[in-house]
Chains A and B, each alone.
Chain A
Amino acid sequence: DAGVTQSPTHLIKTRGQQVTLRCSPKSGHDTVSWYQQALGQGPQFIFQYYEEEERQRGNFPDRFSGHQFPNYSSELNVNALLLGDSALYLCASSFRADTSQAFFGQGTRLTVV
Chain B
Amino acid sequence: DAKTTQPPSMDCAEGRAANLPCNHSTISGNEYVYWYRQIHSQGPQYIIHGLKNNETNEMASLIITEDRKSSTLILPHATLRDTAVYYCIVRGVGNTGKLIFGQGTTLQVKP
Contact = CB atoms under 8 A, between A and B. Distances in A.
Interface of A: 4, 33, 35, 41-45, 48, 50, 55-56, 58, 90-92, 97-107
Interface of B: 32, 34, 41-46, 49, 85, 87, 91, 93-104
Contacts, number: 68
A30 to B, nearest CB: 12
Contacts of B34: 100
A73 B32 CA distance: 29
B43 A107 contact: yes
A56 B101 contact: no
B95 A98 contact: yes
Contact of B97 (A43, A48, A104, A107): A48
